[in-house]
Structure 1
Amino acid sequence: MSPDDSTTAAQPASQGRAARRNRTPRRLAAGAAAALLAGVGTGTLAPVASAASTVAVTVDAGTSLGTVPSTGVGLNTAVYDPNMNDPKASSLLKAAGIQELRYPGGSDADGYHWQSRTLAENGWVAPGTDFDSFMANAKSIGAQPIITANYGSGTPQEAADWVKYANVTKGYGVKYWEIGNEVYGNGHYQNGNGWEYDTHADKSPTEYANNLVAYAQAMKAVDPTVKIGAVLTTPGGYPDGTVGAGDSADWNNTVLSIAGKSIDFVIVHWYPGGTGAADLLNTPDRIPGITSALRSLIAKYAGARAASMEIAVTETDGDFSPAKTSQAAALYAPDTYMSWFEHGAVNVDWWDLHNGPGKPSTVNGETDYMDEGVLSSGTCTGGSPCEPALETPFPTYWGIRSLTALAHPGDTMVKSSSANASVAVHAVRTANGGLNVMLINKDPQNAAQVSLSYAGYTPAPGSVTTVSYTKGATDLTTAEQGTAAGQTLPPYSITTLQLKPASTTSAGSPSPAAPSTAPAPAPSAAVPVPSAGSSVGSRAQSEAGGAVGRPAQGSAAPTPSAKPTTTSTAGGLAFTGMGPGVLYSAVGGLIAVSAGSVLVLRGRRRKGAHGK
């Protein structure tokens, strides 16, 4: 990860060089950005449906897109963050169902020496962010670690010593180890002007691949059970497909041709961006194309190990878009997590826990602090409005936390579809037989009327339990409203239906939900919705999921009502897939700044040339 644009807060003197190194290359040149965005689509949502029309959503509960991974919902942490192990933050992450934490933080990982707890080039490391403190925090949250070994300025022996300390000396059982961050950003493709710290004289993909084999051998000699990950460029994003000076092939083909049989998973970063919030909300449709390209590469080079090779997305957020802390980014979060899971990714890590503000802007009537953290750092940038108090959840936090209402590890993801691109859908068959369906209304202005039909599942009649996150809310809201067949979705909202099976459910037999005899009741005052006369928004995508519970046999169907209550549902993550179209957005480098004990910078790991 690379740093954010700028900071006006004072930094510790020791941080200067590393911070500048990470920040400088962050943004893409206008020409490069335009080239990446070309051919990816207009970024506009489908036309809004009229007030009288409805968006048809179908869920096929008899299918399977795989099970929700136990390492799915992840988050980045960084050694420059003085609030990394704040108990309040940890409590919020536990409630959000965070299952994996990445350490030590984007591009800084390629300069971090874990034994001395120092960063190359005198970079600044916050107190209390050492490896043991990180592990204690991960344990308190119930999250598994994924560690980025220092490739840029480290050695195979240093990485092997880390494995020995973690898994032999301390018994932490750390399984996932990345070798480097965005190593392709080391300057090999930028005439030396890359964003990733790399002291190797040879910065080619061939050198990385040969060293990758050496890292894997040394680390597995200590603990044969560890999984070693290779850094790849995201198909369709910079510098994918580029053949550097002296190379015979691009980065991915070179690395996998040499190291494909020595690794256990591949790593990509996903920063899709766009010119507006609607562009960001459309980007999950590109994920199927990306995963297909990755699977083709893996099959080409991994031999008999191809089937077991995993895909991890160790950085993502709404960077390179105007929405980072506002509602659009919150809607993007669960959609992108689920899309990756449905297409086979075992892990997706949001950037970042705390990041620090950029220059605030207004997105669809909301202040966006341009902060890529999920929790506020409580700081300011120049004369701009200050962020909310430290540890205040941004909408992106609630977007991620909405996944706890949809799925838990081991649940089965099933096929779903939407007739309109402005309503996205994901569905999960729960381990106890229930069906959860997440509906995301991507229209910022209009409510969406949705009609749902099911195959392989017969929902119980009557009102259903919904868990919603709406624009401006400060918590998830649980209510009994609408039916399995019809729902009204507030503008810019996430609504998860937790369906119970009818007592007469016949497994495997397609059976549409009984049509509603009356319009879906409007949500309560806690979840305001435009009147029936307002135009309706819609967005395509599908999936269903819901919590299950059988009603007493012979009991009358309850009268639909809206009784919202805030909830702190802890839960798991789901496995997802996305649509075609390939655009990548990953950037290297990261930075942070601290004044006293307050994070004043946003440590971002991206860089300009690293195309989103």
Structure 2
Amino acid sequence: MLFRRRSDRLRRPLTVTASVALALAAAALPLSTPAAADPADPAATGDTTVTVNAGAGLGTVGPAALGANTAIWDSAMNDPEVATLYRAAGIGALRYPGGSYSDIYHWVDNTAPGGYVAPGTGFGAFMGTVRATGAQPILIANYGSGTAQEAADWVRYANLTKGYGAKYWEIGNEIYGNGVYGSGWENDTHADKSPDQYAREVKAYAAAMKAVDPTVKIGAVLTMPGNWPDGIVAAGGTGDWNHTVLAAVAHDVDFVSVHWYPNTSTGDQSLAAVRQLPGELREVRDLLDRYAGADSARIGIAMTEVNSNSGGGAFTTRPNGLFAAEAMSTALENGVFTVDWWDTHNGAGAITTVGGETDYGDMGMLSNGSCTGSVCEPAVNTPFAPYHGIKALGALGDPGDTMVASGSSGSDVSSHAVLRANGDLGVLLLNKNSSAQHTVDLQYLGFTAGPAAPAVQRWAPGDDGLVDATGTATAASVTLAPYSLTVLTLHPKSGTGSSAATVGTPGTPRTTSVDANTVALSWPAATGAVDRYEVYEQLGTTLQLLGSSTGTTATLHNLPPGSRHTVNVLARDQAGRLSRPSEPLTFTTGTPSDSTCAVTYRVTTGWGNGFVADVAVSNLGPADINGWTLDFDWPSTGQSAASWWNAVVHEDGRHVRVTNGDSNARLAPNGGNTASFGFVGANNGANPTPTVFRLNGTVCRTVS
């Protein structure tokens, strides 16, 4: 990215067998029954209820979780005040040398032919800010006009000569923007600009850089699913960017890098667009699972650029502060290990007024003091609204804390929660309504609040940044001002919660076998005297106990074909107290290999928010079929079919029923023929493949 961003655009119960008998009743209650409100508090009177489940783990906050982009054209990037502000916000990662400038930048002489390099922005100066912040660098090797040798020399200088221990290295920035799909802003001097060439170069860069320092982590650039140019196949290509790149490099890289700028018109629309993120990130993980197999578990997802990109302004004002907190926390809860705001300083753009505040059209989190006409930003390094949103996330939790599930009964209020290492519970509440306050009743699962009032930090209209508002809330209730962020820190009742358990947290579970109805799990043992392990499935903010085992394995039976599940493993000590939840595991069951029908579903082309799909249906049974229906469900709420051929398509919400056309009603037995049809579809966000198809009611084998 340069100075301005372009506008691109009722589940049934499960049964489990484990190494000991099932335990499906009383043990589940501490995690699935809300704790009663403190008797000192009045009865619940709020218009919104937020529920937090401390046993439903969403992952661990990593040291590089919150990040920011820096740029060599920014003369203020290494101001001492900037490092102080980074530390105060909990920024743990700094990305350099700056978006699209990365593909014209040569580190050895600090030059960027065709671009401006501000004084004092060289690699050494940047690393001084990194160290003053206590952060980790995320470095972008020049793909556009650089070489694998140049990148390897940078690794040698950084880690062997200087001892910086730079861990994360991306290969290029937004290389899919090199013109191969028609729109070109990224410098790429390779004669071959295809994803195949990028994949070949990534392998060469990774080999050269790891030959110097085998500990470095190499990242490849992907496009975010559901965003341009996802699904587009360039002239002469055989696949789109993501499928082509991952098919070649999935076993060579350590992480993938995506950028997310919702193409919206207002700040409120950007806030609403955050609901797309979980599905889009799940699709990234599905791609890694598909191409990396067992290696997928070690490959991280980095969201190295994010901002609202709202065409109607709202960059430096309150809506974008809420967006920063909402988008970054949502990304981390859905498997991203670092999410990096674009940008630290950027520059004034179109001047608008949002909610009575001047919006400077600046995508930075801090002012750079520039002007548009006669309207000038405040003094350099004055925090803008996104900084306050990020600082609220820094106040919510620290590296090593456990993100846990939370949910709200009202669309105006969203929530995020962290179980801290000392047993405290952090809860972030956002009121996204610009004019109405909301009173929230708080309920907890797997956590009992102590008698002390929670600490409260708040950013509301009239507040000068994140302020101490302790005394304005109880553990049971809080009133949220319009367009506000509130962070509660609650202390547990003595002797309760995971911090009172005498066992450690189980290791991350993994699948050892998966078929249509059965999944086998195993996990590393917890420390301490474990009485038993318990496997829980996340169902929103409640948990379903699937089974318990005295060992570190369990086999889940009678799972629906093609169904997705997210589970945690918890250890219970001899006194009955539960540990923290393990890292989550999400898996999808297969479809029956012995089915009497088979379906192939293939997206043949796409353009970010639309696609064309071809479907083929076969009858593998012994009896002739004359007239058929095919039923499936869209995995994402944003998917739909717009027009079709060789069949009739009817949609009811996410459910789709397809009826044969006049020419393909007969399906001969034993796979004697295939009925094919297709449709043009639309997708608002992710476009995952449906997992279960039923031919005249029979679950078919899905052929990839």
| TM-score, length of structure 1 as denominator length | 0.75
Q: Give the % identical residues.
A: 51
Contact kept, 8 Å, 1:237 with 1:582, in 2: the verdict is: no
- Equivalence for 2:141: 149
Contact kept, 8 Å, 1:288 with 1:580, in 2: the verdict is: no
Please state whether the residue corresponding to 2:454 is helix, strand or coil: strand
Structure 1: distance between partners of 2:67 and 2:462: 24
**Residue deviations 1:318-357, cap 9 Å, x none?**
1134211100000111111111111111000001111001
Give the number of the structure with larger relative contact order, counting CA–CA contacts within 8 Å between residues 6 or more apart.
1
Instruction: After TM superposition, give the deviation of residue 580 of structure 1 in Å.
Output: 6.2
Structure 2: distance between partners of 1:481 and 1:68: 28
> Equivalences for 1:428-577 in 2 at 5 Å?
428-461=418-451, 463-478=453-468, 479-503=470-494, 505=496
Which of 14, 38, 54 is the matching residue for 1:61?
Answer: 54
Instruction: After TM superposition, give the deviation of residue 581 of structure 1 in Å.
Output: 6.3
Which of 327, 340, 345 is the matching residue for 2:336?
Answer: 345
**Residue deviations 1:24-77, cap 9 Å, x none?**
xx334xxxx4xxxxxxxxxxxxxxxxx985101111112211111111000000
Contact kept, 8 Å, 2:347 with 2:364, in 1: the verdict is: yes
Structure 2: distance between partners of 1:58 and 1:436: 13
Structure 2: distance between partners of 1:194 and 1:329: 27
Please state whether the residue corresponding to 1:194 is helix, strand or coil: coil
- Equivalence for 1:371: 362
- Equivalence for 1:167: 159
Rg larger in 1 or in 2?
Answer: 2
> Equivalences for 1:144-543 in 2 at 5 Å?
144-190=136-182, 193-321=183-311, 322-383=313-374, 385-461=375-451, 463-478=453-468, 479-503=470-494, 505=496
- Equivalence for 1:83: 76
- Equivalence for 1:116: 109
**Count of aligned positions:** 477
Please state whether the residue corresponding to 2:416 is helix, strand or coil: strand
Please state whether the residue corresponding to 1:164 is helix, strand or coil: helix
| TM-score, length of structure 2 as denominator length | 0.65
Structure 1: distance between partners of 2:584 and 2:239: 31
Give the letter aligned to residue 145 of structure 1.
P
Give the letter aligned to residue 356 of structure 2.
G
Structure 1: distance between partners of 2:220 and 2:636: 23
**Residue deviations 1:70-120, cap 9 Å, x none?**
110000000000111011122111111110000000000000011121112
Structure 2: distance between partners of 1:432 and 1:155: 47
Instruction: After TM superposition, give the deviation of residue 576 of structure 1 in Å.
Output: 12
Structure 2: distance between partners of 1:299 and 1:504: 41
Structure 2: distance between partners of 1:580 and 1:158: 43
Instruction: After TM superposition, give the deviation of residue 481 of structure 1 in Å.
Output: 2.3
- What RMSD, in angstroms, separates the aligned Cα atoms of the two structures? 2.4
Structure 2: distance between partners of 1:484 and 1:369: 38
Mark the CA change 1:582 to 1:332 in structure 2 (over 3 Å): closer, same or farther. Answer: farther
Give the letter aligned to residue 114 of structure 1.
W
Greater mean deviation of Cα atoms: 244-253 or 389-398: 389-398
Runs of 4+ displaced beyond 6 Å: 579-583
Give the letter aligned to residue 3 of structure 1.
F
Structure 2: distance between partners of 1:456 and 1:84: 44
Structure 1: distance between partners of 2:638 and 2:137: 29
Contact kept, 8 Å, 2:367 with 2:383, in 1: the verdict is: yes
Structure 1: distance between partners of 2:496 and 2:225: 43
Please state whether the residue corresponding to 1:230 is helix, strand or coil: strand
Mark the CA change 1:507 to 1:90 in structure 2 (over 3 Å): closer, same or farther. Answer: closer
Please state whether the residue corresponding to 1:65 is helix, strand or coil: strand
Please state whether the residue corresponding to 2:56 is helix, strand or coil: coil
**Residue deviations 1:148-173, cap 9 Å, x none?**
00000000000000000001111111
Instruction: After TM superposition, give the deviation of residue 275 of structure 1 in Å.
Output: 2.1
Mark the CA change 1:125 to 1:436 in structure 2 (over 3 Å): closer, same or farther. Answer: same
Please state whether the residue corresponding to 2:472 is helix, strand or coil: strand
Give the letter aligned to residue 229 of structure 1.
G
Please state whether the residue corresponding to 1:452 is helix, strand or coil: strand
Please state whether the residue corresponding to 2:353 is helix, strand or coil: strand
Structure 2: distance between partners of 1:72 and 1:387: 29
Give the letter aligned to residue 319 of structure 2.
A
Q: Identify the structure with the greater helix proportion.
A: 1
Which of 82, 93, 105 is the matching residue for 1:100?
Answer: 93
Structure 1: distance between partners of 2:304 and 2:169: 11
- Equivalence for 1:562: none
Mark the CA change 1:487 to 1:576 in structure 2 (over 3 Å): closer, same or farther. Answer: farther
- Equivalence for 1:559: none
Contact kept, 8 Å, 1:286 with 1:581, in 2: the verdict is: no
- Equivalence for 1:571: none
**Residue deviations 1:554-599, cap 9 Å, x none?**
xxxxxxxxxxxxxxxxxxxxx999x96679xxxxxxxxxxxxxxxx
Contact kept, 8 Å, 2:46 with 2:438, in 1: the verdict is: no
Give the letter aligned to residue 143 of structure 2.
Y
